[in-house]
Structure 1
Amino acid sequence: MEYRHTPVLLAEVTQQLTLHDGSIFVDCTLGGAGHTKRIAQLIAPTGILVGIDQDDAALTAAADTLRLGQQELPTIVLLKGNFGDLDELLLEARVPYVDGFLMDLGVSSPQLDHVGRGFTYQEDAPLDMRMDPSSSQPTAADIVNTYSEAELARIIREYGEERWASRIAAFIVAARGAHPITSTSKLVEVVKAAIPASARRTGGHPARRTFQALRIEVNHELEQLERGVRSAIAWLAPKGRIAVISYHSLEDGIVRDVFRDSAQGCICPPDLPVCRCGREPVVRIVTKRPITPSAEEIDRNPRSRSAKLRIAEKR
Structure 2
Amino acid sequence: MGRLFIPRAAPLALSHTKLFTFRTTTAAARATTTTYASSKGSPRRSVSRPLPDSLVRRTRSTREFNEEEIEHFLSNGTHVPVLLGEVLDVFDRRGRPLRSFVDCTMGAAGHSSSIIRAHPELEIFIGLDIDPVAYKMANVQLDLILNNVEAERKDRALQRYTYLRNFRDIRSIVRQVDANISSDGVDGILMDLGMSSMQVNNAERGFSVLNDGPLDMRMNPLASLKAEDILNSWPEAEVGRILREYGEESNWRKIQTKIMKARTGGGLHSTNELLNLVRSACGGPAGRQGWMKTATRVFQALRIAVNDELNSLRDALFAAFDCLAHGGRLAVISFHSLEDRIVKQTFLDIINREEGGSPVKKKNDCEEEWCKQKIDGKFGTILTKRPITPSTDEEKLNRRCRGAKLRVLQKVPQE
Q: TM-score, normalised by structure 1?
A: 0.90
CA–CA distance in structure 2, aligned partners of residues 177 and 241 of structure 1: 52
Residues 53-68 of structure 1: pairs in structure 2 closer than 5 A = 53-68=129-144
CA–CA distance in structure 1, aligned partners of residues 407 and 288 of structure 2: 33
Instruction: Report SS of the residue matched to 1:68.
Output: helix
Alignment partner, residue 331 of structure 2: 243
> In the TM superposition, what whole-angstrom CA distance separates every residue of 1:167-211 from its partner, at most 9, and x where no partner exists?
111101111210221111110110111114279662653300000
Amino acid at match of 1:309: L
Instruction: Report SS of the residue matched to 1:197.
Output: coil
Q: Which of the residues 297, 307, 314 maps onto 1:226?
A: 314
Instruction: Report SS of the residue matched to 1:61.
Output: helix
Residue 14 (structure 1) aligned with residue 111 (structure 2): no
- Does structure 2 conserve the Cα–Cα contact (< 8 Å) formed by 1:3 and 1:32? no
Amino acid at match of 2:127: G
CA–CA distance in structure 1, aligned partners of residues 116 and 170 of structure 2: 20
- Does structure 2 conserve the Cα–Cα contact (< 8 Å) formed by 1:24 and 1:49? yes
How far off its partner does 1:115 sit? 1.4
Instruction: Report SS of the residue matched to 1:71.
Output: helix
Equivalenced residues, count: 303
Amino acid at match of 2:102: V
* Cα distance change, pair 235–76 in 1 and its aligned pair in 2 (3 A): same
CA–CA distance in structure 2, aligned partners of residues 201 and 62 of structure 1: 34
Residues 204-223 of structure 1: pairs in structure 2 closer than 5 A = 205-223=293-311
Judge which range, 182-191 or 88-97, deviates more: 88-97
Q: Rg: which structure is higher?
A: 2
CA–CA distance in structure 2, aligned partners of residues 289 and 253 of structure 1: 12
Instruction: Report SS of the residue matched to 2:325.
Output: strand
Alignment partner, residue 175 of structure 2: 91
Judge which range, 200-209 or 4-13, deviates more: 200-209
CA–CA distance in structure 2, aligned partners of residues 292 and 107 of structure 1: 17
How far off its partner does 1:91 sit? 2.0
> In the TM superposition, what whole-angstrom CA distance separates every residue of 1:46-104 from its partner, at most 9, and x where no partner exists?
51110000111212111111221522362110001101122222222223321111000
* Cα distance change, pair 42–142 in 1 and its aligned pair in 2 (3 A): same
CA–CA distance in structure 2, aligned partners of residues 235 and 214 of structure 1: 31
> Percent identity over the alignment?
42
RCO greater where, 1 or 2, for CA within 8 Å and sep 6 or more?
A: 2
CA–CA distance in structure 2, aligned partners of residues 310 and 198 of structure 1: 36
How far off its partner does 1:268 sit? 6.4
Amino acid at match of 1:311: V
* Cα distance change, pair 167–68 in 1 and its aligned pair in 2 (3 A): same
* Cα distance change, pair 113–195 in 1 and its aligned pair in 2 (3 A): same
- Does structure 2 conserve the Cα–Cα contact (< 8 Å) formed by 1:27 and 1:51? yes
Alignment partner, residue 76 of structure 1: 160
Alignment partner, residue 179 of structure 1: 266
Amino acid at match of 2:408: I
- Does structure 2 conserve the Cα–Cα contact (< 8 Å) formed by 1:25 and 1:48? yes
How far off its partner does 1:44 sit? 3.1
CA–CA distance in structure 2, aligned partners of residues 150 and 267 of structure 1: 34
CA–CA distance in structure 2, aligned partners of residues 147 and 67 of structure 1: 43
Name the Cα RMSD after superposition: 2.1
- Does structure 2 conserve the Cα–Cα contact (< 8 Å) formed by 1:3 and 1:61? no
Judge which range, 260-269 or 186-195, deviates more: 260-269
Residues 90-109 of structure 1: pairs in structure 2 closer than 5 A = 90-94=174-178, 95-96=181-182, 97-109=185-197
How far off its partner does 1:109 sit? 1.8
How far off its partner does 1:263 sit? 2.3
Normalized per residue, the structure richer in helix is 1
CA–CA distance in structure 2, aligned partners of residues 266 and 57 of structure 1: 42
* Cα distance change, pair 266–150 in 1 and its aligned pair in 2 (3 A): closer
Residue 283 (structure 1) aligned with residue 357 (structure 2): no
Residues 64-213 of structure 1: pairs in structure 2 closer than 5 A = 64-69=140-145, 70-72=148-150, 74-94=158-178, 95-96=181-182, 97-133=185-221, 135-197=222-284, 202=289, 205-213=293-301
CA–CA distance in structure 1, aligned partners of residues 355 and 172 of structure 2: 31
Is there any run of 5+ residues in structure 1 with no aligned partner, and where?
270-279
How far off its partner does 1:136 sit? 3.2
* Cα distance change, pair 108–59 in 1 and its aligned pair in 2 (3 A): same
Is there any run of 5+ residues in structure 2 with no aligned partner, and where?
1-75, 151-156, 359-376
How far off its partner does 1:141 sit? 0.7
- Does structure 2 conserve the Cα–Cα contact (< 8 Å) formed by 1:262 and 1:281? no
- Does structure 2 conserve the Cα–Cα contact (< 8 Å) formed by 1:4 and 1:109? no
